[in-house]
Amino acid sequence: MLDTIYDVIVIGAGPAGTQAAVSASHQMRHVLVLHSGKVSFSRGRAYWSKSVEIEDAPVFPGIIGPNFAKELMKWMESRPVVEFKLGDEQRKAGIDIKDGLVTKLTKKDDVFVLEASTSTLKKDNSIQLEQFTSRTVVVASGFDDKWPDIEFQPDENRLYKQYATVFRYAGNRKGWHVCIRCDGHLHVNEHLALLGVGDYIYEAAIGAQDFTEEITILTNGRPHGMSPHILNQLEERNIDIIETGIKRHIGEKTDLLGFEMMDGTELFFHGFLVDEGLIPNTKFLSGWDYQKDDEGLIIANEDMQMLDSEGNPIPGLYAAGDIISGERNLIATAFALGQEAGLSASDSLRKWHYPNS
């Protein structure tokens, strides 16, 4: 693999990474997409819309998450690598796709070196690491949602095992939602439970008012963390806050119906939204001097170029999608940012530019 220096390596195959790859290959660049879906169970956020149809994404009306991920893959596969000659130079254009969880990103002599774990992690299997090189990189690895710690098994170290019960209900029409803007329309005038504390859940409550006035905030045993000013506003709107811990889910197959609380009471709702924050997928950037916000989301300029702590663009390093600070965490936004990043990375590889004087 090290013989090939790609023009662009894209990390992540959600809408942002897919669009970045397609846009760069459309400009005759040789692109490699590394995505962790099959080797790590980190499959991208849209994947978790398991039975809820995604209604507001361009081109894919009424698709569910796992099918959306497959369609994105097909779109990239429709641009296989071809060889062509530009002037006297032999070049390649198109997209190679590889399963791989990127674990480390370094730069040596103007070339990025990406280390990725490329085989499925299994008990007793040693990690298989491979290296890939490129002239530019687009980080489109998104973030993982934090899930509620109800019936959580801290002794299990694999994410999906830790949250086995939560994941049964996650992303279903009648289950855990994580995006009020995406799924609020399923619960118009219904009773919504919002789980979380502080600013996160307050903002979810503000969003929920577009769909219903029946809202209850559950903190799962923690102090609510909201100021008196905010509490007054919630009281005026008849939004209850329940600070009792939650003992277990009450559900039927994949439908979530309510909770048994630590005090023995049972609460039932029509819809459930959790906002406990996020985990940015950026471990591989450890050691890089780059700007990020308090949640760890990347701060980029208008060309989607990452910035160092002094505000200077980092040559060759771009980012797009949910991983970008201050943008809406939605599919159409991810496509738009992905296109900008893919084209900017491609433009940076041109041989000549406007003269300086």
Ligand X SMILES: Cc1cc2nc3c(=O)[nH]c(=O)nc-3n(C[C@H](O)[C@H](O)[C@H](O)COP(=O)(O)OP(=O)(O)OC[C@H]3O[C@@H](n4cnc5c(N)ncnc54)[C@H](O)[C@@H]3O)c2cc1C
Stretch that binds ligand X, among 54-62, 80-88, 127-135, 205-213 (CB under 6 A): 54-62
Please compute Rg for the chain using Cα positions: 22
Contact flag: residue 182 with ligand X (CB under 6 A): yes
Instruction: State both tokens at 86.
Output: 């530009």
Alpha helices in 9-53, H assignment, sequence order:
15-26, 37-40
Contact flag: residue 171 with ligand X (CB under 6 A): yes
Stretch that binds ligand X, among 37-45, 245-253, 256-264, 272-280 (CB under 6 A): 37-45
State residue 314 phi and psi, 5-degree precision: -85, 115
Contact flag: residue 11 with ligand X (CB under 6 A): yes
Contact flag: residue 23 with ligand X (CB under 6 A): no
Which residues does 148 contact at the CB level (< 8 Å), separation at least 6? 166, 176, 195, 220, 246, 274, 276
For residue 23, the Cα-to-chain-centroid distance in whole angstroms is 20
C-beta closer to ligand X: residue 136 or 329: 329
Contact flag: residue 322 with ligand X (CB under 6 A): yes
C-beta closer to ligand X: residue 142 or 224: 142
Contact flag: residue 64 with ligand X (CB under 6 A): no
State residue 318 phi and psi, 5-degree precision: -120, 165
Contact flag: residue 12 with ligand X (CB under 6 A): yes
C-beta closer to ligand X: residue 71 or 266: 71
Site for ligand X in 279-298 (CB under 6 A): 281, 284
C-beta closer to ligand X: residue 137 or 334: 334
What torsion, rounded to 10 degrees, do the Cα atoms 162, 167, 168, 173 define?
A: 170
C-beta closer to ligand X: residue 117 or 224: 117
State residue 23 phi and psi, 5-degree precision: -65, -40
- Supply the DSSP symbol for 298: B
Return the closest-CA partner of residue 24 out of 89, 76, 68. Answer: 76
Instruction: State both tokens at 61.
Output: 């009306």
d(CA 45, CA 178): 10
Instruction: State both tokens at 54.
Output: 């995604």
Stretch that binds ligand X, among 147-155, 213-221, 244-252, 326-334 (CB under 6 A): 326-334
Site for ligand X in 80-109 (CB under 6 A): 101-102
Nearest-approach distance from CB 271 to ligand X, in angstroms: 13
Q: How many residues bind ligand X (CB under 6 A)?
A: 40
- Binding residues for ligand X (CB under 6 A): 11-17, 34-37, 42-46, 48-49, 54, 56-57, 101-102, 140-142, 145, 171, 178-179, 182, 281, 284, 321-322, 329-332, 334
